[in-house]
Structure 1
Amino acid sequence: MHKSLKFILVIICFTQTFLFAQKTKLDLNQKLPADTQVITGKLSNGLTYYIRANQKPEKRAVFYLAVNAGSILESDDQVGLAHFTEHMGFNGTKQFPGNTLVDELEKKGIVFGREINAYTSFDETVYHVTLPTDDSVLFNMGLKILDGWAFGMLMTEKEIDKERGVIIEEWRTRVGSGDRLRKKTLPIELKGSKYVDRLPIGTLENLQQFTYASIRSFYKTWYRPDNMAMVVVGDFDPRVMEQMLKDFFEMNDAPSTPLQRPYYDIPDNKEPLIAIASDPEATSTRFSLNFKQAKSETITIGDFRNQLIRSLFTSMFNARLSEISEQKSAPFKSAYSYYSSYWSRTCDAFSNIYNCKEGKGLESFELALTELQRLAQHGFLESELLRAKSQIIDQYEQQAMEESKKESRGLAFGYGAHFLRNIPTTTANDYYILTQSLMEGIGLEEVNQLINEWIKNENITLNFTLPEKEGMAIPDKQDIMALFDKSKTTQTSPYVDNVSTLPFLVKKPKSGKVVKRNHNKEFDYVELILNNGATVVIKQTDFNNDKIILYASSFGGTSLYPDSLLVNASYASAVIRECGIGNYNTNAYKKFKYGKNFSIYPWIGTLSEGISAQ
C-alpha cells in the first residue's frame, strides 16, 4: 500500500509539473533547470565540489576527481606527461606511498580497473574510486585518496623510472595499423592545430628521455584547486559529507597566481583537407566526412531547443542511410551521421561516417555526397519529421522513467562533465518535460534550414583509410576533388517515404487458456501451464521502472542439424532478424517502431533456440 501510494504521488507531481510547463510559455533565454538534489559549492581556495545522496547501489559511494587539464596543455618537453601523471596517482601519494593504495584496496576486494580507475584525454584527466559505505575503514579512505591524487602525488624518481617501462610498453601495444594510419591522416585533417602533436600517449622519445622536473612541473602547474573539482555520490548523509569535504580540503592553500588555462582551436580551411592513408594491416575501408561548425553550448532553454533541432536532423538523415544500407546494391555496410564536438572544446562538426564494402570506397563517397545534395535540393519530409519527433520524445521519456534507477557512478560522471565541459546538470524528468513542450513548435522549415548552415564548401575535412591489397586501387586527392566537383552539379530526385499501412501481423494469434497455476513462495514467482503445454514463469521486480522483459526458449538448437547444415543453422536467426516481421520488411518495420519502445530478438544456440523481447 505504501509503495503504491508513493508511486501515485510521483505521477501526480510529475503530471502537474508537465501541465504547468505546457500552459506557461517558455522563456528561451532562461537557463536550463539544474539538478536540485546535488549540493554544489566552491571552497575559499577555489576547489569546486558536488555532493549527492544516491542509493543505487546501496552501501556504496563514488569518489571522483576532475582535473581540467590534459595532454593539450603539455609543453614540448612534457609530451605524454599528462597521461604519465595520471599513472603516478597510483604509484605513491603522501597518504599511500609506493603501491600501498592499490594493495590495500585489492585486499578488501576493490578491483583495479573496475572499482578504481582513471583516464586522460586531450583536455581533461579524471580519477574515480567506488568504496563501501558500511565499512568505515574503506569509506574513510575516500577523501584521502582524492587528496592524494589532487595534492599529494610524491613523484619519486624511483617510482617515475619504474613507471616508464609500464607506459612505454603501453605505447608499444598501440603501435599498429590504427596508429600508423593516424600518423598519416591527423597532420592533414587537423592542419595547423596543436592537437596533432598532443596525443595523450605521447612519443617514445620523450617517454624515454623526459626529466623528473618536467613531470613535476606539469603536476604543479595544472593540479591546483581552482582547476579541479571533487564529486562524491552515494549512500550517505550529503550534509555530513559536505562538512567532511570542507574540513579536509580547506587546508590546501589557494594558488598565488590566477589560473590561465588556454584553449586551442581547430583552424578554419577554405579548401577541403583530404587525408587518405592505407595500411597492409587495415581491415576495412572507412571514411569520415566532416563539416566543421562554430562551437555550440547548451546553457539555456533556447540552446536545448537548438539541440533538439540538430537531433531531429541527424535522426532523419540516419534513417535514410539505414534504409539505403539494406539495399543489396549499397556500396557501404553501414553509415551514420552525428553532430558533436570536433577534437577540441572550441569546435563542433557535422560528421558522416561510412564503413564501406571492399573496393567500394569511392562509390560510397560519391553516394554520401549525392545524399547530401538530395538534402540540399529537396530537404526532409513532414512524415520523416513526425517519426523523428516521436523517436526523440520516446528516448527522453524512457530516461525520465528510469531516472530513479540511475547509479552513482553515472551521476558522478555527469557532475564532472558539468565542471569540465559545462554540460548542464538538468535532470531527465526536466529534459522530458521540456522536450514535449518544445517539440510541438519545431517546424520542418527550421530543421531544413540547417542544411545550408552545415553543408558548405569550406571547413570540410575528410579522413579516408583503407587496406593495402593486391588489385585494390588507392584513391588520391584528385579522385576525391573530382567527386566534390561532380556533386555540385548533380541533380537528384526527392526522397520517397514508403510507409506500410498493412496490418502488422499477417494473422492475429488466438488466445489460449491457463490450465494450472503455481506460486513459488521461496523465490516469489508465478508459474502458469498453458493448454498447449507451454510453461510461463512470471516474476515481478523493481530493477527498472518501465520495462517488461520476455524470454522464450525451447531445447534443440543447432545440435539437431547434421554437419552439412550447421553453418546454415548457425546463421538462421541472423537472417530472420534481417527479414522484418509479418507484412513489414526491415525498413517498414523500423519506421513502424518509431515512438514505440520495444524490441524482438530471435536467437539460436547450440542446445536451444528462442526469442528475447522487451
Structure 2
Amino acid sequence: MTFVRLVAIALLSLSFLAPARAAPLDETLPVAPYVKVGKLANGLTYYIQKNGRPEKKLELRLVVKAGSILEDEDQLGLAHFTEHMAFNGSTNFKRHELVSYLQSIGIKFGADLNAYTGFDETVYILPIPTDKRENIEKGFLVLQDWAQGVQFNDADIESERGIVLEELRLGKGANDRMNKLLLPRMFNGSRYAERLPIGKADVLRTFKPDAIRRFYKDWYRPDLMAVIAVGDIEPADAEKLIQQHFGQLKNPVQPRPRIYAEIPERTKSDVLVLRDREASGNMLLIRYPIVPRTESTTLLGYRSDLIEQLSGMMLSARMAELTQRADPPFIQGGSGMSKVVRGYRSFNVTAMLGKGGATPAINALVQENERARQFGFTASELERAKRTLLRNVERAHNERDKSDSRMYASEYLRNFLEGEAIPGIENEYRYASQLVPGITLDEVNAAVRKAIPAEDAKLVVYMGVDSPDVPAPVPAELLAAVDAARKTTLTAREDKVYGTKLMEEPPKPGKIVSETVNQPLGTTELLLGNGVHVVLKPTDFRNDQVLLGAVRLGGQSLFDDKDIFNARYASAAMALMGTLDYSPLDLQKILAGRSVNAAVSLSGISEALGGTSGSADIETMLQLLYARLMHPRIDPALFESFLAKQRDVARNSLARPEAVFADTVGATLFNNHPRVPRAPRVDDFDKVQLDRVADIYRQRFGSAKGWTLFLVGSFDVEKVKPLIATYIASLPAGDIATTFRDPGVRPVRGVVKKEVRRGREAKSNISITFAGDAAYSQQEQVRLQAMLEVLNIKLTEVLREQMGLIYGGGSQGTLSKLPYGNYAITLSLPCGPENVEKVIAAAFAEIRKLQAQGPEAGDLEKVKQNWTTNHRRSMRENGYWLNYFQGAYLNGIAPETILQYGERVDAVKAADIKDAASRYFDFENYVQVVLYPEAPAP
C-alpha cells in the first residue's frame, strides 16, 4: 500500500462513496498512469513525473541500493563516508565548488540539498529551481557525478575525516551506549547489528583511501541505481537527459552479488535490562518475532493491507484509552506491527514508564493485546475505523492535483528500494471505495489474532535511568510478568455506541455588522456584532484544507508570579479533560470520519485559537472551537492523570547533559527570571490546581473581546459567513484586558561566561548569545536574518569544511517588537572538548570579518536567491498566509506587506550586512555557556 499509508489519521463520513465496477482480486496492482518507469540498457531504473507543485521546481533523487550492510570489515562507516565525499570533488565540480554553485541558484545546503545513508541504501536529494534551463541540465550533471564521478582525492578524504568523526560524536550519549548492547540482541546475531551506518571511530580514523574507493567501485553501479525526476519538466525531456547522463555508466565486469542480510528467527525468549544514569526516562520494549514482509502486488494483497490497517487503528485507539485513567499505567505507549529493516517487521509493545515502573505497563498493554486477540473488536469500533480510513483516502484523492513533488519522489523511492506498489491515488481511491465497505468484523478479528503473538519467543527490554532511587528490574521477573499478564482471565470489551453530532443544537446566531473586501490580498473582512474581526481568505492552494487562527494580546503576563504554573499549563490541562460532556477519547469517536481539530493556547504575552478541517467540515471545526471556549469540561480524574504524567516526565527531565546545558543557558541569560520557561521539575505540578486552572481558562477564553480571527483555505465566502455568524458572532464578549503586561524579562548585561560539566562522553556544546534592545521594523528584520544567513555560510565553509572542527551548528536570531524592541542571536556550535577555544576563536573571527569587510562577493546573492525560491513556494501555502496574518496583527503591521517581501529582500545590500554585524554583535555584551564532559574522578 502506498499513498494511504502516508496520510495521517483524519476524520469524516462515507457519503463520498460512489458505486464502481468491482475489480477481480487477483488483478495485479498497476503502475500509476502519471509516472513513467523505465530502465536503461545498463540496468539503471528511472521514474519521471510532471507535477506542478511547487511551481518552477524539480525534485531529483539518486537512489543507490548500497548502504552500510555491504561494508567489508575495513569499511565500517564508509558507505556513509562515501555520501560525504560526493560533495567534495567530482569529475565536473571541484571541492567546495558544487555546494557553492547550488547555493548560487537558491539551494540551501542541509535544508534543501541533502543525502542520507541507511543499512541498505544511500539517497541523494537535490531540488532544482527550473527558472533557467542551465539549472536543469546541471542538476542531472550533479547526479551523474554522484553516480560514478566522485574523485576521492587523498587530501579530501583526510579533510573529511574530522567532519564525519564530529557527526559520530554528536550521536554519543546514553541512547548510543544502550543501543550498542541492545541491537545485537534485537537483531538476534544478524549482520545488521554490526553495520550501523555511522560506523566505528577507529575505522573512520585509520582506513586507507583505497578502502572507500573499493566500496564506491563495487556498489555505485547502474544496476543498483534509480534516478527520480518529479516536478516542472516535460517527461520526454527528462527521459532524454537521463539517457544522456546515465546511459554511459558501466557495471563492473565481475559485479559482487548484492545480497540482503537475513535476521535469524528467535527460538527462545530473552530479557535485557539496560540502565544509564544519563537516560532521560524509563522505557519498556517487548519485541515479538521478526518475520519476513513481502510488499503486496495484487488487489487481494491490497485488501489484506486494508484489513491490517483497520485492525491496527482500532488497537491503537484502545491503547490510547489506557492513558486516560486517573492513575495511568504508563506515560505513553502502544503496540502494533512495524517495519524493522527492509523485508522484515515485527509486532512490538512499547511504553514510556511512569513512577509505577514496568509491571503496570506490562499488565495494561499485554492484557489489552490479549483481549483483542481473544475477543476481537466490536462492530462500532470497525465502523469508526472504516470512516476514518475512507476519509483519509478521500482527502488524498481530493488533493491529487495539489500534491507536492517531494511526496511523489518518496513514493517512487520506496517502490525501487522495497517493492512497494505505486498504483496511484485514483486507483487507490477506487480500490478503497470498493473494498472497505465489504470488509467484515470476522476478517478484521482474524487479522488481529494473526498479528498479536501468543506464546511466541520474545525479547523483553527495559531501558532506564541508573539511579539508586529506581531499583533495577530483575530480568526473570520481567519475563514472568509478561507471561502472567498474558494468562490473566479477561472479558470482552463493551464499546459504547456514539452519535455523530457534536452539538445537537447550534447557538443562536449573532450578527455580521459590516463587510469589507481587500482586492490586493483577496480577503474579505467581517466585523461581527460582538466586536470580533474575521478575515476570510479563500484560496486554491489545496482542494480540501481549511486553516483557522486567531490571536490577541494578554496571555500569561496578566497573572501574578504565584499563578505562573497554573497559567502555563492551563490550556494543556483543560484540553486533556475534553469539552461539553465528552472526554478527549469520546470526541475522537464522535468525530470519527471527519477531518477536524480545534485548540486554544495561552502563551507568554498572547493567546491563540487554532483549527484545521477539510472543506466539508468547517462547521464541525467551528462547533468544536465554540465548545472548547464556552463549554470546557472539568474531570478531576483526567486532571490528576495529566499531572501524574507531567510529574513522571519531569522526574528525569535533567538526566541528559544536553538538558542541563539548555536549562543553564536560559537561566544564565535571564538571571533565573521566574517567567522564563525551563525544564519542568516534579514539584512544579504541586502548584497546579484544578480550580485555579479552570478559572484562568474561563477568564481568558470565556470572552471573545479583542479576537481577530483568520480563515484561510478551500472554502466559499458566502457559504462560510452564516457559520461565522452562528459560532463566532454568538460568542459573548465581556470586558477583559486585551493587552499584555511587560513581565520585565531582560537579558543580563556584560560578558558572562559559565561552564556546565555533565556527561560521560567526550563532547561539548557552545552557546553564545548576543542580546539587547533594538528598534523593530520589517526591513531591519530582513537585514538581521540576511546577515545571519551569510554568517552561516562562512561558519560552514571555515569551521566545517576548512578546519573540520564541527559537523553542524551555526547562528540563529530574532528581532522582536513585543514585549519591547529587542534582538537575540545565538551561536550554537557542538564540537570536541579539545576544540572549544578554537571553535570560539574561529567563529568570532568570521563575525569580526563581517563587521570589518562585509560579506564576500556572491554570499548575499546566495541568500537572496534561496529566499526568493522559498517565498515563491510559501505564497502557495495556506499555513504561510495564516501565520503572516497573525504575526502582522500582533505587531501592528499592515497585512499587505506580505506582497512586498521581494522588495524588502531586493533592498538588502552588502553594506547592510556589514552594519548589522557591527550593530548586533557586541563583544562587550554576550553570554557564553559551554558544556564539557564531567571531570574524571580523582
The answer as to whether partners of 2:86 and 2:150 remain within 8 angstroms in 1 is yes
Q: Is the 8 A contact 2:80 2:198 kept in 1?
A: yes
Q: Secondary structure at the match of 1:549?
A: strand
Which position in structure 2 is the counterpart of 1:117?
114
| Alignment map for 1:286-297 (pairs within 5 Å) | 286-291=283-288, 292-297=290-295
Residues 423-438 of structure 1 mapped to structure 2, 5 A cutoff: 423-438=420-435
After superposing on structure 2, the runs of 4+ consecutive aligned residues of structure 1 that deviate more than 6 Å are none
Q: Secondary structure of the equivalent of 1:599?
A: strand
Q: Does 1:381 align with 2:383?
A: no
1:92 pairs, out of 68, 78, 89, with 89
| Residue 144 (structure 1) aligns with | 141
Q: 2:398 aligns with which of 389, 398, 401?
A: 401
Q: Which residue of 2 aligns with 1:556?
A: 554
- More deviation, 151-160/357-366: 357-366
CA contact (8 A) 1:316 1:388 kept: yes
Structure-to-structure mapping, 1:331-480, within 5 angstroms: 331-342=329-340, 344-454=341-451, 455-480=453-478
Q: Distance in 1 between matches of 2:278 and 2:483?
A: 32
Q: Distance in 2 between the 1:468 and 1:94 partners?
A: 52
- 5 Å-filtered alignment, 1:57-456, equals 57-257=54-254, 260-291=257-288, 292-342=290-340, 344-454=341-451, 455-456=453-454
C-alpha contact 2:20 2:434 (8 A) present in aligned 1: no
Aligned residue in 1 for 2:511: 513
Deviation at 1:506, TM superposition (A): 7.8
Match of 1:591 in 2: 589
Q: Distance in 2 between matches of 1:259 and 1:23?
A: 49
Residue-by-residue CA offset, 1:301-348 (whole Å, 9 max, x unaligned): 111111111111111111011111011222211112332322x32322
TM-score (norm 2): 0.62
Q: Deviations over 1:284-316 (max 9, x none)?
A: 111222223331312111111111111111111
For 2:483, the aligned partner's letter is D
Does the CA-based 8 Å contact 2:511-2:529 persist in structure 1?
A: yes
Q: Tell me the secondary structure at the aligned position of residue 340 of structure 1.
A: strand
Native 8 Å contact 1:189 1:273 kept in 2: no
TM-score, normalised to structure 1, is 0.93
Secondary structure of 2:538 counterpart: coil
Distance 1:205 1:608 in 2: 52
CA contact (8 A) 2:40 2:247 kept: yes
How far residue 18 of structure 1 moved from its aligned partner, in angstroms, is 7.4
Deviation at 1:610, TM superposition (A): 3.1
Change in CA separation of 1:212 and 1:415 when aligned onto 2, cut-off 3 Å: same
Unaligned runs of at least 5 residues, structure 2 = 1-13, 613-938
Asked if 1 retains the 8 angstrom alpha-carbon contact of 2:56 and 2:232, the reply is: yes
- Aligned partner of 1:485 among 483, 486, 493: 483
Cα offset, 1:121, TM superposition: 0.5
3-state SS of 2:331 partner:
strand
Q: Show the counterpart of 2:615.
A: none
Cα distance, 1:201 vs structure 2: 0.5
Amino acid at match of 2:476: Q
Separation in structure 2 between the aligned mates of residue 334 and residue 492 of structure 1, nearest angstrom: 23
**Letter of the structure 1 residue corresponding to residue 228 of structure 2:** V
The secondary structure found in structure 2 opposite 1:403 is: coil
Greater CA deviation, 31-40 or 449-458? Answer: 449-458
What is the percentage of aligned positions where both structures have the same residue? 34
Shift of 1:594: 1.0
| TM-fit CA distance, 1:131 | 1.3
The letter for the 2-side match of 1:599 is N
Per the alignment, residue 5 of structure 1 pairs with: none
Distance 2:260 2:441 in 1: 36
The C-alpha deviation readout for 1:48-91, integer Å capped at 9, x for no partner, is 11111111111111121000011111111111111111111011
SS at match of 2:180: helix
SS at match of 1:425: coil
- For 1:394 and 1:409, locate their aligned partners in 2 and report how far apart those are by CA, in whole Å: 22
Distance 1:134 1:359, change over 3 A: same
* 2:22 and 2:434 in contact (8 A); partners too: no
Deviation of the 1:495 alpha carbon: 1.5
**CA deviation profile, 1:223-260 (whole Å, cap 9, x unmatched):** 00100011111212221121122122222234433562
Separation in 1, partners of 2:17, 2:243: 37
Give the aligned CA root-mean-square deviation in angstroms: 2.0
> Which shows bigger deviation, 589-598 or 545-554?
545-554
Does the 8 A contact of 2:282 with 2:354 survive in 1?
yes
Say if 1:115 and 1:131, in contact at 8 Å, map to a contact too.
no
**SS of the counterpart of 2:401?**
helix
Q: Deviations over 1:512-538 (max 9, x none)?
A: 122211111221211111222221111
Assess if the C-alpha contact under 8 Å between 1:284 and 1:358 holds in 2. Answer: no
Tell me if the contact between 2:62 and 2:225 (Cα under 8 Å) persists in the aligned partners: yes
| Deviation of the 1:150 alpha carbon | 0.4
Cα distance between partner residues in 2 of 1:156 and 1:78: 17
Residues 503 and 32 from structure 1, CA distance in 2 versus in 1: closer, same or farther, beyond 3 angstroms? Answer: closer
Q: Distance in 2 between matches of 1:194 and 1:52?
A: 37
Q: Aligned equivalents of 1:474 and 1:320: distance in 2?
A: 30
User: Matches of 2:215 and 2:411 in 1, distance apart?
Assistant: 26
What's the counterpart of residue 567 of structure 2? 569
SS at match of 1:440: helix
Counterpart amino acid of residue 580 in structure 1: G
Greater alpha carbon shift after TM alignment, 272-281 vs 545-554: 545-554
Measured in 1, the distance between the counterparts of 2:139 and 2:393 equals 34
SS in 1 for 2:384: helix
Check conservation: 1:79, 1:203, Cα contact below 8 A.
yes
Aligned mates of 2:112, 2:537 — CA distance in 1: 31
* Inter-partner Cα distance in structure 2 for 1:157 and 1:588: 64
Q: Distance in 1 between matches of 2:454 and 2:208?
A: 47
Letter in 2 for 1:347: Y
Residues 1:391 and 1:502: Cα distance change in structure 2 (over 3 Å): closer
Give the Å deviation of 1:186. 1.3
Residue 603 in structure 1 maps to residue 593 in structure 2: no
Contact 1:224/1:255 (<8 A) preserved: yes
Q: What is the match of residue 545 of structure 1?
A: 543
The one of 522, 525, 539 aligned to 1:524? 522
Q: Is the contact made by 1:266 and 1:346 (CA closer than 8 Å) also made in structure 2?
A: no
Structure 1, 456-465 or 82-91: larger mean CA deviation: 456-465
Q: 1:487 to 1:558 in 2, by over 3 A?
A: closer
* 167-176 vs 329-338, which moves further: 329-338
Cα separation, 1, equivalents of 2:387 and 2:296? 22
Q: Given residue 219 of structure 1, which amino acid in structure 2 is its aligned partner? A: Y
1:561 is aligned with what amino acid?
F
Match of 1:4 in 2: none
Partner Cα separation in structure 2 for residue 510 and residue 556 of structure 1: 28
**576, 579, 589: which one aligns with 1:578:** 576
For residues 502 and 427 of structure 1, what CA distance do their matches in structure 2 show? 31
Q: Which amino acid aligns with 1:444?
A: L
Q: Is the 8 A contact 1:91 1:98 kept in 2?
A: yes
Aligned to 1:404, the other structure's residue is in SS state coil
Structure with higher RCO (Cα < 8 A, 6+ apart):
1
Alignment correspondent of 2:901: none
Give distance in 1, aligned partners of 2:281 and 2:592: 31
1:613 aligns with 2:618: no
Aligned to 1:8: none
Could you tell me which of 20, 32, 45 is aligned with 1:48?
Answer: 45
- Which residue pairs with 1:12 in the alignment? none
